[in-house]
């Protein structure tokens, strides 16, 4: 890197957005805390409103903050080095998300490999099985918990398989959109990116159908149906939230494409959204294997 | 969006034209700042306030334990004190102090104009006070604050928790976001903002240790977020991750928690290694002995930290292979740590040593941290750990590592760079009082805890058997003396900001590094053009 590039590193002036974001996070945490702590207390519903106010404020912050960044970028204030900072920042953020999912995958694998078999008396735990819950048999998916809650396992064919195909296809269309952007083919870019957003939405719709199916009386697969239901809903639920976030990111990119933003050389935001989308896709493949198939 | 863009653009331009000299005044300067020095100062002040807050809680604990029997507080409140004391000292005092040092010093040390992502930097800081406001506000709930220990083991934090758990969980989420964003900023600054010619192996060791620490943070803080999330759903949404009746396992909690928890321990000590590796060469007037071995040792410790977590759980129970594996891996850590201690000793060997206050704290660090390291080695042995587990021996061990280790290194760093921050020399007499009072009282405070623990006094209890009375009396006296000694530091820092002997650009003749090439106090913006490194 040349010295010249270093001289032009852009240090932004004071900004009000971080403190707005800090207050927003504070409202979200206080609101969510109050809401969750008073779940069984219908008289106090204040928490929900504080939570919504926090979410509204953080959306306002994102508009303002990203607006500043986009303006600065489009007026040519950013150097190649600045672009690198953003790229590296986004990569490490995605890595932190990988570790977040790792915690839940860890819980799933621990429960399957150790917790459930030990409850059934595996290893040197014969006494555990015999004394605590003699009737219990260790199986996976755990359709009957030690305390007798019964549920049904979600199969991998049908909706989950369709969803896998949807997400894998969307990763390809996201990539094709990127290629189109780099080749300056704006029409194709709009088409592929629009299709990606659409596939994300259809995925979310199917996921909703699947949840409705799980909560229906034939399946009785609830969030509190023992460790199988716990890991199923927490893993797919957090993944679904990430798909929602990724779809919104791609949608914003689509709007920006229609506004004429991005050049073949300068499109960090687009690339960040597309990286995020591929990450969400990879997590789904792991989910499909470990939650549904095996 | 478009109309906004135009408005914003005009204000942006106005900002940019003068942004190098432009400095808002009053509260807005601190709320809106993107300057790494402002943000560093805020981190350091915040951590000191938290240090005093958590310290007061420690004094409540020591006051209750001054005599056997229950005198001052109820057992439940005692548990709240131990819990919040731990949370505040770990997440509110030590970690923000290191982040503050990183913010102040890293850009100067690598020759950068600022941190790589300055607005994100501001956000990382300002969410912290809010997180601790939420945590501390739980004291005003009817049920009181969290009382399950800072390790929040299930089922204490789930089935048997009081009404504060939801607030605890969301507060920890925000602390985690702050740490992750701060760490990303540190990594990107180091990878992307180094002055031309500063290759990785030319970076000061201080920079290296923060680099590696930041990776640890990015890797394990999300795991903590996942853990507290499962605690939340277990407590309020009927899941049974940590409940055997639903097919889960409370032991699983400990595995996931300590997968975060052990790297977290090194997050609090690796930067300390970086600080004393800066101060010891400066006051020994020699180059750091074995620079590259220090880098590799730091990286080895970071790697090993991921495969030793279950040494916190020897008595919890796991297959024999697990006990052996985690015992041997833990002992392996002594090798790179030993490399470091010997390197510090070798740096001082035949050096022209002078004993300014930063050096005093650094030497105390090397000796007392090593004591903490050795007691750690004792705890690493599975069979003997069965006796030491959950006794005051463990309390003694981690306070030697975190107080005389991490905290003393922070003091060393603070004295070392105070002239650069304020432009004035600190009051030398007061600093010597601070050091000697701290040194004597901290050993009176923590050393007898070893004996208490070996004799069988359990931790986290408000009352104890009569035979422990004498030692506990001395420990409490040491505790209050140590707490009061820190007020000397507060007075000293305020005096130093207000004035004193003018500091030169490089007040320590043996000091090395780019931060000493700029005047004291360091100008608001340093290195707008990068320095040349050969």
pLDDT at residue number B293:
97
Q: A1-78 domain in CATH 1.10.240.10?
A: no
Could you read off the pLDDT of A140-169 as tens digits, one per residue? 999 999 999 999 999 998 899 999 999 999
ipTM of the complex: 0.95
CB atoms inside a 10 Å sphere around CB B109: 22
Q: Considering B173, B262, B399, B420, which one is annotated as catalytic?
A: B262
Could you read off the pLDDT of B297-326 as tens digits, one per residue? 999 999 999 999 999 999 998 899 999 999
* Coil, helix or strand at residue A150: strand
Could you read off the pLDDT of A114-130 as tens digits, one per residue? 999 999 988 888 888 88
Please report residues of A whose CB lies closer than 8 A to that of B117: 85-86, 89
pLDDT at residue number A6:
54
Chain A touched by B348 (CB under 8 Å): no
User: Do B170 and B219 contact (CB within 8 A), yes or no?
Assistant: no
Chain-centre distance for alpha carbon B303: 19
CATH of domain A80-293: 1.20.120.80
Interface-testing mutation among B8, B125, B131, B247, with chain A (most A C-beta atoms within 10 A): B247
Compute the radius of gyration of chain A from its Cα atoms.
23
pLDDT exceeds 60 at position B18? no
How far, in Å, CA of B259 to CA of A230, rounded? 21
pLDDT at residue number A7:
55
pLDDT exceeds 50 at position B408? yes
pLDDT exceeds 70 at position B16? no
For the ranges A31-35, A139-143, B431-435, the one whose mean pLDDT is highest: B431-435
- CB-closest option in A16, A67, A89 to B117: A89
**Partner A, chain B 469-528, Cβ-Cβ below 8 Å:** 525, 528
Percent of chain A with pLDDT strictly greater than 70: 96
pLDDT at residue number B24:
73
Could you read off the pLDDT of B33-73 as tens digits, one per residue? 999 999 999 999 999 999 999 999 999 999 999 999 999 99
pLDDT exceeds 60 at position A15? yes
pLDDT exceeds 80 at position B5? no
pLDDT exceeds 70 at position B12? no
Beta bridge partners of B391: B458
How far, in Å, CA of A220 to CA of B397, rounded? 50
Is residue B74 among the annotated active site residues?
no
Is residue B202 among the annotated active site residues?
no
List, by residue range, all CATH 1.20.120.80 domains of chain A.
80-293
**Partner A, chain B 144-203, Cβ-Cβ below 8 Å:** 163, 165-167, 169-171, 173-174, 177, 180, 183-185, 187-188, 191-193, 195-196
Percent of chain B with pLDDT strictly greater than 70: 96
Could you read off the pLDDT of A230-248 as tens digits, one per residue? 999 999 999 999 999 999 9
pLDDT exceeds 60 at position B11? no
pLDDT exceeds 80 at position B454? yes
Scanning every residue of chain A, which has its alpha carbon at the shortest distance from the alpha carbon of B29? A14
pLDDT exceeds 80 at position A89? yes
CATH of domain B32-517: 1.20.210.10
User: Do B531 and B120 contact (CB within 8 A), yes or no?
Assistant: no
Run of H or E including A235: helix A226-258
pLDDT at residue number B330:
96
* Cβ-defined contact of B119 to A6 (cutoff 8 Å): no
Could you read off the pLDDT of A175-219 as tens digits, one per residue? 999 999 999 999 999 999 999 999 999 999 999 999 999 999 989
Closest CA relative to residue B401, chosen from B382, B376, B423: B376
For residue A288, what are the CA distances in angstroms to A103, A170, A220, A285? 17, 16, 21, 5
User: Do B249 and A110 contact (CB within 8 A), yes or no?
Assistant: yes
How far, in Å, CA of A59 to CA of A53, rounded? 10
């Amino acid at each position: 890197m040349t010295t010249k590039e270093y001289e032009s590193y852009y240090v932004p002036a004071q900004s009000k957005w971080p403190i707005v974001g800090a207050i927003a996070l504070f409202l979200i945490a206080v609101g969510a805390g109050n809401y969750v702590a008073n779940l069984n207390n219908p008289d106090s519903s204040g928490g929900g409103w504080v939570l919504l106010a926090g979410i509204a404020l953080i959306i306002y912050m994102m508009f303002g903050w990203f607006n500043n960044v986009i303006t600065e970028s489009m007026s040519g204030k950013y150097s190649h080095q600045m672009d690198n900072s953003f790229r590296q920042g986004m990569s490490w953020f995605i890595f932190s998300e990988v570790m977040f999912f790792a915690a839940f995958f860890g819980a799933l694998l621990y429960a399957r490999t150790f917790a459930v078999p030990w409850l059934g008396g595996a290893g040197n735990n014969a006494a555990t099985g015999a004394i605590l819950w003699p009737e219990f048999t260790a199986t996976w998916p755990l359709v009957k918990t030690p305390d007798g809650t019964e549920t049904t396992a979600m199969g991998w064919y049908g909706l989950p398989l369709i969803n896998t195909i949807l997400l894998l296809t969307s990763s390809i269309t996201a990539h094709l959109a990127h290629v189109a952007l780099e080749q300056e083919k704006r029409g194709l870019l709009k088409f592929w990116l629009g299709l990606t957003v659409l596939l994300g939405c259809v995925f979310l719709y199917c996921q909703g159908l699947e949840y409705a199916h799980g909560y229906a009386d034939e399946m009785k697969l609830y969030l509190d149906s023992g460790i199988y239901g716990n890991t199923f809903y927490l893993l797919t639920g957090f993944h679904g939230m990430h798909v929602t976030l990724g779809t919104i990111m791609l949608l914003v990119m689509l709007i920006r494409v229609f506004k004429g933003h991005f050049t073949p050389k300068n499109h960090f935001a687009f690339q960040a959204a597309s990286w995020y989308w591929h990450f969400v896709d990879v997590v789904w493949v792991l989910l499909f294997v470990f939650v549904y198939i095996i | 969006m478009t109309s906004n863009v135009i408005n914003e653009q005009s204000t942006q331009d106005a900002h940019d034209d003068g942004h190098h000299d432009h400095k808002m005044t009053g509260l807005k300067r601190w709320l809106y700042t993107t300057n790494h020095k402002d943000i560093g100062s805020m981190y350091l002040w915040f951590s000191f306030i938290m240090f005093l807050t958590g310290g007061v809680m420690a004094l409540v604990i020591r006051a209750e334990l001054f005599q056997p029997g229950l005198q001052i507080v109820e057992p439940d409140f005692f548990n709240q004190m131990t819990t919040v004391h731990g949370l505040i000292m770990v997440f509110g005092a030590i970690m923000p102090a290191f982040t503050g040092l990183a913010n102040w010093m890293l850009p100067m040390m690598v020759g950068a104009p600022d941190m790589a992502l300055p607005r994100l930097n501001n956000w990382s800081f300002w969410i912290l006070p809010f997180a601790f406001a939420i945590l501390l506000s739980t004291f005003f709930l009817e049920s009181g604050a969290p009382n399950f220990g800072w390790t929040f083991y299930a089922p204490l934090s789930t089935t048997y928790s009081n009404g504060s758990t939801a607030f605890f969980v969301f507060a920890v989420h925000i602390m985690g976001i702050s740490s992750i964003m701060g760490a990303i900023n540190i990594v990107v600054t180091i990878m992307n903002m180094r002055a031309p010619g500063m290759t990785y192996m030319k970076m000061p060791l201080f920079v290296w240790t923060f680099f590696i620490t930041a990776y640890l943070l990015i890797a394990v803080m999300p795991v903590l977020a996942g853990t507290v999330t499962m605690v939340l759903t277990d407590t309020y949404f009927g899941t049974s991750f940590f409940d055997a009746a639903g097919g889960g396992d409370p032991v699983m909690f400990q595995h996931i928690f300590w997968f975060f928890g052990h790297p977290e321990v090194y997050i609090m000590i690796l930067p300390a290694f970086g600080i004393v590796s800066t101060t010891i060469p400066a006051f020994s007037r020699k180059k750091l002995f074995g620079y590259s071995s220090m880098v590799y040792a730091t990286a080895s410790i970071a790697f090993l930290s991921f495969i030793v977590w279950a040494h916190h759980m020897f008595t919890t129970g796991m297959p024999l292979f697990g006990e052996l594996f985690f015992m041997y891996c833990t002992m392996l850590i002594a090798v790179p740590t030993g490399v470091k201690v010997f390197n510090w000793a070798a740096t001082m060997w035949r050096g022209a040593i002078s004993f300014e206050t930063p050096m005093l704290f650094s030497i105390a660090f090397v000796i007392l941290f090593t004591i903490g390291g050795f007691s750690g080695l004792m705890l690493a042995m599975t069979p003997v750990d069965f006796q030491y587990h959950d006794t005051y021996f463990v309390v003694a061990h981690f306070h030697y590592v975190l107080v005389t280790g991490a905290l003393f290194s922070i003091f060393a760093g603070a004295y070392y760079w105070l002239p650069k921050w304020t432009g004035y020399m600190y009051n030398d007499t007061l600093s010597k009082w601070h050091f000697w009072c701290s040194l004597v009282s901290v050993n009176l405070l923590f050393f007898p805890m070893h004996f208490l623990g070996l004799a069988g006094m359990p931790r986290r209890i408000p009352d104890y058997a009569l035979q422990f009375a004498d030692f506990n009396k001395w420990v409490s006296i040491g505790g209050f003396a140590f707490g009061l000694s820190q007020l000397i530091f507060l007075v000293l820092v305020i005096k130093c900001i207000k004035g004193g002997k003018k500091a030169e650009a490089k007040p320590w003749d043996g000091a090395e590094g780019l931060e000493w090439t700029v005047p004291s106090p360091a100008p608001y913006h340093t290195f707008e053009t990068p320095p040349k490194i050969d």
